[in-house]
Each structure stands twice: as C-alpha cells, then as structure tokens.
Structure 1
Amino acid sequence: ALIQAPNDRFHAGVSVDFCPELALAKPLCQSANNLEGARVVDNKSLSLLPVTRLPTTWFVFQNRPTCDAALASQFIKSIQLARGSEVADTAGSKGWLPQVTALMQWLDPGIVRQVQPDANVVGVPLTEVPVPAGAERPQLAVMLSGDGGWALLDRAVTAELAKNGLPTIGWDSLSYFWKARQPDEVALDLERALRYYLASWKKERIVLIGYSFGADVLPAVINRLPQSLREKIELVVFLGLSTHAAFEFNLRNWISDAPAAGDQPVRPEVEKLKELKRLCIYGTEEDDALCPKLADIGVITNPMPGDHHFDEDYPGVAKRILDQLPTVKTVQAPVAAAAPTPGPVGPPPFMQPNQPTQPTQAPQPTSQPIQPAQPAQPAQPAQPTQPAQAPQPPTPR
C-alpha cells in the first residue's frame, strides 16, 4: 500500500509480524512505484524484492513472524525509511500492543482513541470531542458516523462544533453495526450514552446528528427513545440522508446505493418526529438524496454544493447546524498555551533508523528538539566603569 499509493497519501505505515512473502496467485499491480516479487517454487506465492525507498516511514514490530525471522529482518533493514523493532516473545498482543500504542500516540494522538475508544458506555465505540477552550453551549451533541467509521468528515464536523462551544460524542457506526442490530437495541445503547454524558458533562439539552448510514438509522432509533429523553432533544440533523436504512454494515453499501431486501424505509420514521426540529443537509450532486422530498412534512432542507461529502466544506456543515440552535452569548476565555501532548515527546526509543540521516518525509515529533548549546562569546574589552571579570580557571580536583 505504501509503495503503490501516491506519495502524500499516507502519514506512515505500521506492520506487525511482517513476512516478505505474499500468497498471491496473480502478479502485483504495476505502477509508477513498482513493488516486484519473484515466484517461489510452489508458484502459489510471491517473494517480495526489497525497495530502496518508501514515500513515508514504515514501522515494523516483529513478535512471532510466521516466516524466517532473519530473512524478514534483512528485508526490513534494506529499506531506508523502514524502522524495525524486535518485541519480546510474550503471550499474544501483550508484547507488541504497548509499543504500537506509544507509536500511534506519537504519530497522531487521535489515533489511539480510535484504536481504543472511550469505554464509558460499555459495548458502544464512542469518541469524546470536548470543547477545547472558552464558554460551552448548554447542549450535548451525539453524532452517528457513516459506514466508513469515525472518519475525516465526522472528525472535522465535530471539531468545528466543539470549537464553537458544542461538545460532541462520536459514535463509530462501522464498528457498532459490524454485526446486525435491531432498532430497539440501538435505542437502548443511545439512551445509555445520553444519560451517562448528560450527567457527566452536566448538560440539559441534546442535539442528535447522523451522517449517511448513521443518518439513515437515526429516525427509527429516536422514535424508540423514552419520552423523558425525547423532550430534551433540541435539534435532529440528517447529513446525506438516503431513502432506506440498514442496521448492519454490508460491503455492498460501499459499491451500490440501491436498497437491499430487509432495509427499512426512512421517510415514515422521519414523519413520526414531527414534534422535533429537523434539519436535513444534502449535496446538490447527490442523485438519491431524500432531503428535498421531506420539506412537505416540516423538515428544514438545506442544500450544499458538492456530492455526499459536501465538497469537503466541513466548517460550512457545522455552521448550518449551529445556525439552527438558539443564540447564546459566549465569552471566550483567553486561550492558554497548549499543554504538551501526553505520551512520548519524540520517536519511541525502540524505533531506530536504518540510515544515519533522517529521511525527508519521516513523521516529525510534535515537540521541538533541544538545541545544542552555543559556544561562549569572547569577553568584551573592559569598560572604564564596569571592568570585565576574567574567567576563572576550573578548580583542580
């Protein structure tokens, strides 16, 4: 993936128990950055040939590789931007997981929270997006992601909401709906999450947001919430809403927008939410958008340029949501200097480069390196009023 992708596509690559052999019956795709392989004797696999350079850094943790460990180590060391680490042979992932987590923390602190989601509501993959600084709004938002998981759009929109005083809980729909769910089951989990964070974050009002897959399932889920929670809902937001909802992830959803057998119509569930303020945002280039067909039942429809990703105008999406909330006077507190990110302040010590020089595209640590001490300046000639003190020789030991 690193070799054949565009140079600026990946921040880094991480492998565990790498072997330079692939069980492929067909040859590798040819590209500008070719990865070549030689057929082994059985003609059922490829032995990868080393490349001199990668477009970004590749971190490799070797715990229990299924191939010749010495051969794999030689392959890794032959690549300039590869960083290898031999991990103690302990039981299962306990040997390499702490080191991988430390590496993720250094590369991007947000990755760790995706690998290990907040577990305050057991069984639901949630990510907290708190307000970074300044006054908060009285509402709490929960956003159900699309079937791509807690991805760029979800992170960008919730980050904008948080910057404007609206703390948000992110719900990873890909992980949660990896197995089939029932609407009643999802409603119970959403109820647990809402009650927990309403109390924990001391909020009284709720904003519910769904994107794509998450938007499709949201109406049926809200209709199954207890009335005591529905009364607290300030706004419901649908982003890229479709005509049918599926309560289980299926790979076909990435290929086709056509509803499958068993998918549930969305409009009847939206109609049941008539007592709630509903906002439906859609891209003008979407062919199957349901939003324009909901204006007759009191839904606020708001078109945006672009397709299902709104031309990546994520601040614009957040602004349209915030515009539907009551105006509040927020006085921003002075922003303090950012605290240092917890975790390693430089590359984890177990990752040593294969080359003495640092590669140009290797991820850089967030903290500034300590500058070497500057040589002492020669003493200035003594002034008449302030004679300079002669440097004292070191005391013999």
Structure 2
Amino acid sequence: MFKKVVIKNMFNFLFMVMVCIPEWSHALTVDTLTYGSFGKVVIYHPETAPKAVVLFASGDGGWNLGVVAMAKQIVKEGVMVAGFNIRHYFKSLQKQKVGCYYPAGDLETLSMTLQKKYKFKQYMKPILVGYSSGATLVYGALSQAPANTFKGAISLGFCPDIELNKTLCNGSGLSSHVLKENKMYYLEESKKLTAPFIVLQGVADSVCSHKTSLDFVQNCGQFAEMVSLPKVGHGFSVPKNWMPQFTAALNKIVNSPSYAERMNGTPLIRDYNNPEESAPENLPLTIIPSAEKEAKSLLFFISGDGGWTGFDQSLCKSVASKGVSVVGLDAQKYFWNSKTPARAAADIGGVIEHYMQLWKVNKFIIAGYSFGADVLPFIISDLPAELSQKIEHSYMISPSENADFEIHISDMLNFGSSSDTYDVIAQLKKMANLKPVCIFGDEEEESTKLNFIRAGAEIVVLPGSHHYNNDFEKLSNVLYKK
C-alpha cells in the first residue's frame, strides 16, 4: 500500500543528507538528516539495539528546548527516536496541490528510510509520539492509516484541532469538520482505531483542556486511553512528573500483540528475527480459515510493501467468507531483505503444499497486491511444474511494470539495497498458460493498464484507485465466485 500512495511523489520527497553530530561523549549518539517534507530530522540512538522506533512530532515551538529534552528522556528507554519540526512539515504540506493531507504515508516512508539506513534486520512498525500540535498530528496519522501501519501513538498535551489550510484525508478511519475554513479543522473521535492511542494529559493544562481531551478519548473506542498527570500543565517541563507514565505507555504499546496475533489467524511463525532461515515454516504468515467447514479452495495472497495491513486482512476475510481458506504472506517482513525469485518460489511453494494437504484441497489460487502483484509472475514461473499445474486462478492486483525482490525506498537513496529490477511486462509475455489476470482501479494510470493489455494479460477494471474504495466484497468476487 505504501508504494502506490507515496511513490508517485517520491522524487519530490527524497533529498537526504546525513550528518553526524557528536553531542554526547558516551555511547548515546545523535545524527541529523534532511528528508523531504520533514526538513531536518534529528535521530537519537540508544546505547543498545533499539527495541522500538519512535517518530516524534514537535509542538508549534519547533524541534528545540522542551521536545529535545523529552527525546533525550525517551531514548533512555532503549528506543530510537527521530524528531522533526512540525512547523517545517506543515509549511511543506501546504505547498502540495492536493485536496487533503496524508501524513500517514510520509511517516511510514520516513520510518522505512531510517530502518533501511541503519540496517535493521527486520522492519519495526513505528510508534508515533507527538507533543501539543504534534499530538494532534500523530492522532490523525494513526486514524487515517490502514491497520498495522503503526504500532501505536502517544500524544502529550492533546487537542483535537489542527491548524492547516486543508484537513487530513479520511483514509481508513478519520473524519473531520471545519472550524475556520482554510485555517483550522477539528479531527473527530475515531471508533475505528486498530492500534493503541494513549494520551498523557496534564490536569493543569490551560491550552488543551483536560476535560475536553478526556471526553474525546472516551469516545474513541477500546484502543484509546487517557492518563491524567496531576502535576503537569501543558509544558511537560519536569520529567519526574510524566516520564514514569510515558514509560508505562511506551512499554504497553511495545508489548501489545501484533496485528496478526489479534486477527484470529494463526501465524505459522511466532518470531521472524532470523531472515537467513530458509525453512518455509519461518515465513511471516497470517492464516484465515474458510468460513465453511470444508474449504473449497486455498488462496495464497502476497501483501503490498506496507506489510499485512487492514486492506489485506479485510480483502482476505471477504474471500474466506466464500468458503476459501487463505494463507497471507507479509511482504514487508519477508522481502525486507533481498530474495531471489527462485528462493521466494521455493518458500511459498512449500507453504502452499503444506496447507493443501492440511485442508485437503487439490487446487489453489495465488494472488498479490501492489508489490506482491509485481513479484507474482516470477514466483509462478519458478514453482515446481507439478505444483503450478494445480493453480486454479492467479491475480495481480494493481501491478507495476517493474518488480523488486527487496523492500526499499528508491535506488536513489543508495542504501545498499539490491539494484536488480525485474521487467514484469516481459515476464508476462513469456507466460503462456499461467498468465495472471490483472486488476486495476479505474482511477489508476491508463498507460500502465495499456501496457499490460499489450502483454496479453486479461484486465479487470473496478471502481476506485489503489484501494478500490475499500469495496472488499466487489474485489473478492473477482478473486473467487461461489
């Protein structure tokens, strides 16, 4: 999902300069980088391998004084903190010619960039933290993002109003209304949150009313909670009056169950910390059993490069409701480190064979979304002949013309990622009997659709853009009809 939402404007987004600043003499270090709409981002590294990644949005005062002190306290909890000046970010947003703003995409891109830069072995869903106006921003980003984009959010000194010339896009769960046209908007309570949202609010806060914030949080559903701070106003100037509560909130989010664990599926693996392990049972999978006692078929589904999000989960649950058991691969985790088509086909083929035997089905469907769609024809072509003969149908949902077997932001960043790209159109032309059906939204690029038609692919066009208006029933009806 990340790819199609963000990559379109990537060339406007990818200016990066790395500068080291020896701010401390001991092991704790600080770096800065200049990154697109965020401008200068300050990265605080813990003394040990980070247990989490925090993206910290400042208040209206910018990245200085109070928020710097906050970040230095937070990094002591063993997390990497990346702080940015919200004034610079808002100024950059307001130069964009768009109908609404989607900071969730920017924040996800920043997180992926940082984790590639610092060579994280496995991608960690970031935790959003914001102070004052930053507290409002991170709530909005968490609400609008697909489920499983972020691990959670902590807002320090929260108000529900945001000062921008346009509001934030609704996305997956946000709504808003005008307070002052082209100046200020009210972000409404979302009951669709799918990750923890914790507000730390000073009882003596004279800027953002404690009662107003409490009423707001209480209307946000099960994932939202408020922590009242008796000795704190709006400034959070005395760490001992809020840091213990922040630490508890942070650890609660870090230790909260993963999205896959909460979705009633049974991941085949509990821990995917060893990307060198080649056994199929070590794949990051989500299992969604058929709604019917005996599965009619099996769908193997490869997610987009945003990972296994609410889009993938909702679509595959809709397919499962039709009597098809689903095995879903989290592409963000699996392809975080480079794979070859042969390696991916061997891993995926082993899993498909396992579940075909388990569920007693003799045919299967294979599909991919976005990044997952791009790699699909190469994987199909490398499956063992005996297994590929059992493919009932194959589908590429919103594919691109080129594929990569590693998650990365852009070759321009030169992060040591694989420079190999694979020509999807050329691969489709080679496929005779196993050519996948390609699905596009009617708002997606016409030129891309035409190139797939010229490659001989069957095209299905549905209403919407890259997310198909979240009409999972209509999309699942293409993947499987009773």
Range class of TM-score, shorter chain: 0.5 to 0.7
Go from structure 1 to structure 2 and tell me whether the alpha carbon gap of 1:295 and 1:252 turns closer, same or farther (over 3 Å shift).
same
Letter in 2 for 1:109: R
**Equivalent residue for 2:256, pick from 84, 96, 100:** 100
The offset of 1:274, in angstroms, is 1.3
> Does 1:320 pair with 2:478?
yes
Contact 1:144 1:171 in 2 (8 A): yes
**Equivalent residue for 2:262, pick from 99, 109, 116:** 109
Partner residue, 1:187: 345
SS of residue in 2 equivalent to 1:282: strand
SS of residue in 1 equivalent to 2:315: helix
CA distance in 2, matches of 1:121, 1:97: 29
Letter in 1 for 2:307: G
Gap runs ≥5 in structure 2? 1-127, 129-134, 165-183, 188-200, 228-237, 273-278
Go from structure 1 to structure 2 and tell me whether the alpha carbon gap of 1:58 and 1:293 turns closer, same or farther (over 3 Å shift).
same
The offset of 1:212, in angstroms, is 0.6
Partner residue, 2:287: 128
CA distance in 1, matches of 2:240, 2:317: 45
CA distance in 2, matches of 1:168, 1:216: 20
Letter in 1 for 2:318: E
Partner residue, 1:176: 334
CA distance in 2, matches of 1:176, 1:289: 30
Contact 2:345 2:383 in 1 (8 A): yes
Gap runs ≥5 in structure 1? 22-27, 35-47, 61-67, 77-82, 88-95, 328-397
Structure label with greater radius of gyration? 1
Q: Which stretch shows the higher mean deviation, 2-11 or 153-162?
A: 2-11
The offset of 1:152, in angstroms, is 2.3
Q: TM-score, normalised by structure 2?
A: 0.48
CA distance in 2, matches of 1:268, 1:144: 21
CA distance in 2, matches of 1:305, 1:3: 32
The offset of 1:293, in angstroms, is 3.0
User: For 1:195-223, what per-residue CA distance to the aligned partner results, in whole angstroms no more than 9, with x for missing partners?
Assistant: 21111221111111011100000111111
The offset of 1:127, in angstroms, is 0.4
Q: TM-score, normalised by structure 1?
A: 0.57
Q: Between Structure 1 and Structure 2, which shows a larger proportion of strand residues?
A: 2
**Equivalent residue for 1:245, pick from 392, 403, 407:** 403
SS of residue in 2 equivalent to 1:294: helix
Contact 1:234 1:276 in 2 (8 A): no
Residues 246-325 of structure 1 correspond to what in structure 2 (within 5 A)? 246-252=404-410, 262-276=420-434, 278-287=436-445, 290-323=448-481
User: For 1:200-248, what per-residue CA distance to the aligned partner results, in whole angstroms no more than 9, with x for missing partners?
Assistant: 2211111110111000001111111110111111111010011000111
SS of residue in 2 equivalent to 1:3: helix
Contact 1:125 1:176 in 2 (8 A): yes
The offset of 1:263, in angstroms, is 1.6
Letter in 2 for 1:233: I
CA distance in 1, matches of 2:225, 2:266: 21
Partner residue, 1:72: 242
The offset of 1:318, in angstroms, is 0.8
The offset of 1:275, in angstroms, is 1.2
The offset of 1:171, in angstroms, is 0.7
Contact 2:363 2:392 in 1 (8 A): yes
Go from structure 1 to structure 2 and tell me whether the alpha carbon gap of 1:289 and 1:207 turns closer, same or farther (over 3 Å shift).
farther
CA distance in 1, matches of 2:447, 2:270: 31
Letter in 1 for 2:263: G
CA distance in 1, matches of 2:363, 2:271: 22
The offset of 1:291, in angstroms, is 4.0
> Does 1:198 pair with 2:351?
no
Which protein, 1 or 2, shows the higher relative CO under an 8 Å CA cutoff with sep ≥ 6? 1
Letter in 1 for 2:402: H
Residues 53-92 of structure 1 correspond to what in structure 2 (within 5 A)? 53=213, 55=217, 56=220, 57-58=224-225, 70-72=240-242
Q: Between Structure 1 and Structure 2, which shows a larger proportion of helix residues?
A: 2
Go from structure 1 to structure 2 and tell me whether the alpha carbon gap of 1:225 and 1:99 turns closer, same or farther (over 3 Å shift).
closer
Residues 208-219 of structure 1 correspond to what in structure 2 (within 5 A)? 208-219=366-377
> Does 1:161 pair with 2:319?
yes
Q: What is the number of residues matched between the two proteins? A: 276
Contact 1:243 1:288 in 2 (8 A): no
Contact 2:269 2:281 in 1 (8 A): no
User: For 1:50-90, what per-residue CA distance to the aligned partner results, in whole angstroms no more than 9, with x for missing partners?
Assistant: 66226442489xxxxxxx984335766xxxxxx95798xxx
The offset of 1:302, in angstroms, is 0.8
Contact 1:242 1:288 in 2 (8 A): no
CA distance in 2, matches of 1:123, 1:132: 26
Partner residue, 2:136: 3
**Equivalent residue for 1:235, pick from 393, 402, 417:** 393
The offset of 1:283, in angstroms, is 1.1
Letter in 1 for 2:136: I
Partner residue, 1:151: 309
Partner residue, 1:395: none
The offset of 1:136, in angstroms, is 2.8
The offset of 1:15, in angstroms, is 6.9
